[in-house]
């Protein structure tokens, strides 16, 4: 898959640097050439010898090495690659990149390069969540940099949360997707998927029957065409696709926050079955049966995520695609929904139990746009996804 591709791998100074050794192996297994650059801080975690031995290449370490400058200037080094990958991308490296600093070899290469850049952040959860890092992240995304991960999990520092570097195979999948020459190469697309869970108390929640299968298939089909996909998913039955950035959420409010954080994007596909209501006073203790009668739940309306993105006055995605899950008067309801929400396209389907669509493997949809309603024959959800991805690629040309 990566035969003939040249990756410039910048290894930053974090405990996750040990995973970059495996990343080098995985990339070479797939036919890529890996030129490694190790930052000074990176040398605290992995040895120059192990990096260059695994890469089978010389290692670049220091900006002011006259020998290197004569042999291959750092600007050229950054440009011969098909992709520059920073793994682990520490908070410090991200800040340097966002600020345009160039005070060592890694940051100079990153400022001088005209090839696409991908980062796999890794840091302590508080550092990741800090407003400064989140600001830098938004800047880097805005600059067109692809971000892989980080994942949630136990961290070397003993804390738990987002900040763990993605696994080498996840980074490889993202690299393959990024270097794909498909029609959506360089496009960033958001996909929401799955149901949301709205808590009643710590053990109970309100949900719906969405399996996440259609949204997952769409994300996968878009990535296969080369898109950089941000996949915001509620608790779905099916595993998320590989080669996409996965953001897991539970509630509609969390989904809205994740969607806002993912912007700007070229297109948004809103396949999630978002709960329309949430329980306003979810109890922090388990509700108990009582002689005083049944519990009363009060509801508030959840924000309409599709509508808020469709109606953005600044930075609206070029294409916004909504879904309409209906049980009756499908076309009429979906046509009205498209106008009410302000999205460009609506993918309408009949989710009456008799159709077996919700939770099943097939879908029969109607694509509603300015051009009218187009019925697609009943087919596998994977096929619907491929057809929709191809139409999105057409629209973003």
Closest distance to ligand CTP from the beta carbon of 75 (Å)? 45
Does residue 104 interact with ligand CTP by CB under 6 A? no
Give the number of other Cβ atoms within 10 Å of residue 389's Cβ.
25
Query: Given candidates 168, 226, 317, 322, which one binds ligand CTP under the rule CB under 6 A?
Result: 322
Stretch of 16-24, 115-123, 131-139, 323-331 lying at the interface with ligand CTP (CB under 6 A): 323-331
Residues in 196-255 at the binding interface with ligand CTP, rule: CB under 6 A = 252
Distance CA 326, CA 32 (A): 48
Shortest reach from residue 256's CB to ligand CTP, in Å: 8
Helix (H) or strand (E) holding 269: strand 267-270
170 binds ligand CTP (CB under 6 A): no
Exposed / middle / buried, residue 4 (Cβ in 10 Å: 0-12, 13-18, 19+): exposed
Pairing, β 188-193 against β 228-233:
parallel
Instruction: Count Cβ atoms within 10 A of the Cβ of residue 70 and give its class: 0-12 exposed, 13-18 middle, 19 or more buried.
Output: exposed
Both tokens of residue 99?
Answer: 């600020």
Q: From the list 230, 305, 357, 388, which residue makes contact with ligand CTP (rule: CB under 6 A)?
A: 305
Size of the site for ligand CTP (CB under 6 A): 15
Cβ-based nearer residue to ligand CTP, 136 or 216: 216
325 touches ligand CTP (CB under 6 A)? yes
CB of 326 to ligand CTP, least distance (A): 7
| 357 in contact with ligand CTP (CB under 6 A) | no
**What gap in Å lies between CA 225 and CA 187, rounded to an integer?**
10
Contacting range for ligand CTP; rule: CB under 6 A; set: 74-82, 93-101, 146-154, 304-312: 304-312
CB of 193 to ligand CTP, least distance (A): 9
Active-site residue (options: 157, 169, 312, 339): 157
**Residue of 198, 266, 304, 344 that binds ligand CTP (CB under 6 A):** 304
- Please report how close the Cβ of residue 322 comes to ligand CTP at its closest, in angstroms: 4
Residue with Cβ nearer ligand CTP (136 or 192) = 192
- Clarify whether 343 is annotated catalytic: no
The closest of 160, 397, 201, 181 to 297, measured between CA atoms, is: 201
Coil vs helix vs strand at 390: helix
Q: What residues between 259 and 278 interact with ligand CTP by CB under 6 A? A: 270, 272, 274, 276
- Minimum CB–partner distance for residue 329 and ligand CTP (Å): 11
Question: Residue 257: how many CB atoms within 10 A of its CB?
Answer: 16
For ligand CTP, give the closer residue by CB, 135 or 318: 318
- Per-residue burial over 116-127, b if 16 or more Cβ lie within 10 Å, else e, is bbbbbbbbbbeb
Closest CB to ligand CTP among residues 290, 328 = 328
Q: Which position among 224, 236, 306, 320 is part of the footprint of ligand CTP (CB under 6 A)?
A: 306
Q: Which residues contact 318 (CB under 8 A, 6 or more apart)?
A: 266, 267, 395, 396
Name the burial class of residue 208, with classes exposed (0-12), middle (13-18) and buried (19+) by CB atoms within 10 angstroms of its CB.
middle
User: Which CB atom, from 75 or from 312, has the smaller least distance to ligand CTP?
Assistant: 312
The Cα–Cα gap between 274 and 295 comes to 24
274 with 197: CB under 8 angstroms? no
Q: Show which residues are catalytic.
A: 157
Residues that bind ligand CTP (CB under 6 A): 192, 252, 270, 272, 274, 276, 302, 304-306, 322-325, 337
């Amino acid at each position: 898959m990566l035969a003939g591709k040249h990756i410039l791998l910048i290894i930053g100074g974090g405990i996750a640097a040990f995973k970059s050794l495996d990343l080098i192996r995985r990339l070479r297994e797939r036919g890529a050439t890996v030129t490694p650059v190790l930052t000074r801080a990176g040398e605290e975690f992995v040895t120059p010898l192990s990096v260059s031995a695994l890469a089978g290449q010389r290692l670049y370490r220091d900006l002011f090495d006259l020998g290197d400058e004569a042999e291959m200037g750092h600007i050229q080094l950054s440009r011969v690659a098909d992709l520059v990958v920073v793994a682990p991308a520490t908070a410090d490296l991200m800040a340097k990149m966002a600020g345009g600093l160039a005070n060592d070899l890694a940051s100079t290469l990153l400022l001088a390069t005209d090839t696409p850049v991908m980062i796999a952040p890794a840091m302590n959860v508080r550092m990741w969540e800090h407003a400064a890092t989140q600001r830098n992240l938004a800047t880097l995304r805005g600059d067109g940099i692809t971000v892989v991960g980080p994942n949630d999990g136990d961290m070397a520092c003993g804390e738990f949360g987002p900040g763990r570097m993605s696994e080498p195979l996840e980074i490889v999948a993202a690299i393959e997707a990024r270097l794909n020459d498909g029609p959506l190469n360089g496009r960033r697309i958001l996909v929401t998927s799955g149901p949301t869970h709205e808590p009643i108390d710590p053990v109970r929640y309100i949900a719906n029957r969405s399996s996440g299968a259609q949204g997952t298939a769409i994300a996968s089909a878009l990535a296969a065409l080369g898109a950089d996909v941000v996949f915001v998913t509620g608790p779905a039955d099916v595993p998320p696709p590989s080669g996409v950035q996965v953001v897991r959420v539970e509630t509609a409010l969390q989904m809205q926050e994740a969607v806002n954080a993912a912007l700007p994007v070229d297109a948004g596909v809103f396949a999630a079955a978002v709960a329309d209501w949430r329980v306003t006073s979810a109890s922090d203790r388990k509700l108990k049966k009582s002689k005083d009668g049944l519990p009363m739940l009060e509801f508030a309306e959840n924000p309409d995520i599709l509508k808020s993105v469709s109606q953005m006055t600044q930075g609206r995605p070029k294409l916004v695609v909504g879904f309409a899950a209906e049980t009756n008067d499908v076309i009429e309801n979906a046509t009205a929904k498209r106008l009410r929400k302000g999205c460009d396209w609506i993918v309408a389907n009949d989710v009456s139990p008799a159709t077996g669509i919700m939770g099943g493997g097939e879908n029969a949809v109607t694509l509603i746009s300015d051009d009218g309603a187009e019925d697609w024959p009943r087919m596998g959800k994977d096929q619907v996804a491929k057809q929709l991805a191809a139409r999105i690629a057409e629209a973003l040309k």
